[in-house]
């Protein structure tokens, strides 16, 4: 029989893209389509710079390679064009796009009484969660629709913690972007790096699999 032991953390805040759901290829395809139309070179090197930053900032990074100067109105149209393309890809998302490992980890954390939230710069976070059937798992969603500053500013995580009614020191942040790890550290959270950020030397923990959160987050919350 297992007994309940006090956990170190009371909440976990997850980045969405690249951690819970992998939509990287969809983002890449949507940006590549726009860049090709504008005849701007776009490759994986540029794409890696877009991780964890807003759509507006991503567009500015892409336009760095353009010989033309665009007006704010044109940039807005480009941003909308990319998002419309991306949303068409998102329509194809389903619960099958979430790994069993992610589902099992979320269930374990919820079952242990922890509060969990999303902290994402994406303005499509709620759409993604709905399409993959994960909306009910999360106690709060802080995303691109309720923040003014994007990562590495910690605003999105601070607002997620406030929604959970927890202090940053009571929460861990799971991120796959270097900017997200920096944001977590700046905000006073425990930073857990995975995926593309797994080699970060700023994170308190570096993991290769989301299932490793069981030991980090729960520790000895369950003991024989």
Which CATH number covers residue 71?
1.10.150.240
pTM given for the model: 0.84
Higher pLDDT pick, 204 / 53: 204
Q: What's the pLDDT band for 222 if we cut at 50, 70, 90? A: very low
Single out the residue of 173, 214, 212, 209 nearest to residue 191, CA to CA. Answer: 173
160-209 pLDDT, tens digit each:
999 999 999 999 999 999 999 999 999 999 999 999 899 999 999 999 99
- 129: nearest Cα among 102, 86, 94: 94
Alpha carbon distance 157, 177 (integer Å):
14
Q: Omega before 125 cis (within 30°)?
A: no
Residue 7's pLDDT band, with cuts at 50, 70 and 90, is low
Instruction: Report whether 178 contacts 151 (CB < 8 A).
Output: no
Find the CATH number of the domain harbouring 177: 3.40.50.1000
Residues annotated as catalytic are 15, 17
pLDDT at 223 over 60: no
How many structural domains does the chain have? Answer: 2
Shared domain check, 108 and 166: yes
Q: Say if residue 103's pLDDT is above 80.
A: yes
Q: Which of 60, 90, 120 is the last residue of a domain?
A: 90
64 and 145 in a single domain? The answer is: no
Give CA–CA dist 17/76, Å, rounded. Answer: 23
Q: Distance of CA 92 to CAs 128, 131, 132, 133, 142, Å?
A: 10, 8, 10, 13, 23
Residue 8 vs residue 3, higher pLDDT = 8
Q: Which domain holds residue 14?
A: 3-22+98-223
Q: Are residues 82 and 155 in the same domain?
A: no
Of 52, 125, 48, the C-alpha closest to 86 is 125
118 pLDDT higher than 70: yes
Say whether pLDDT at 52 is over 80: no
pLDDT score at 51: 80
- Same domain for 173 and 134: yes
Same domain flag for 160 and 108 = yes
Domain boundary among 90, 110, 132: 90
């Amino acid at each position: 029989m297992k007994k309940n032991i006090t956990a170190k953390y009371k909440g976990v805040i997850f980045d969405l893209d690249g951690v819970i759901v992998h939509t990287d290829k969809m983002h890449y395809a949507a940006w590549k389509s726009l860049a090709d139309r504008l005849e701007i070179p776009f490759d994986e090197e540029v794409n890696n710079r877009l991780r964890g930053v807003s759509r507006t900032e991503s567009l500015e990074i892409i336009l760095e390679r353009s010989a033309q100067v665009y007006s704010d109105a044109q940039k807005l149209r480009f941003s909308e064009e990319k998002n419309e393309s991306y949303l068409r890809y998102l329509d194809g998302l389903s619960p099958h796009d979430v790994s069993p490992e992610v589902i099992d980890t979320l269930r374990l954390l919820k079952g242990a009484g922890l509060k969990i939230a999303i902290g994402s710069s994406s303005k499509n976070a709620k759409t993604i969660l709905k399409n993959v059937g994960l909306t009910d798992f999360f106690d709060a969603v802080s995303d691109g629709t309720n923040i003014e500053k994007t990562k590495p500013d910690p605003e999105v995580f601070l607002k997620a913690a406030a929604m959970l009614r927890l202090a940053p020191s009571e929460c861990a942040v799971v991120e796959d972007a270097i900017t997200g790890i920096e944001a977590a550290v700046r905000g006073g959270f425990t930073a857990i790096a995975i995926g593309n950020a797994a080699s970060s030397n700023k994170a308190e923990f570096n993991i290769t699999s989301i299932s490793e959160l069981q030991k980090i987050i729960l520790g000895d919350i369950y003991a024989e």
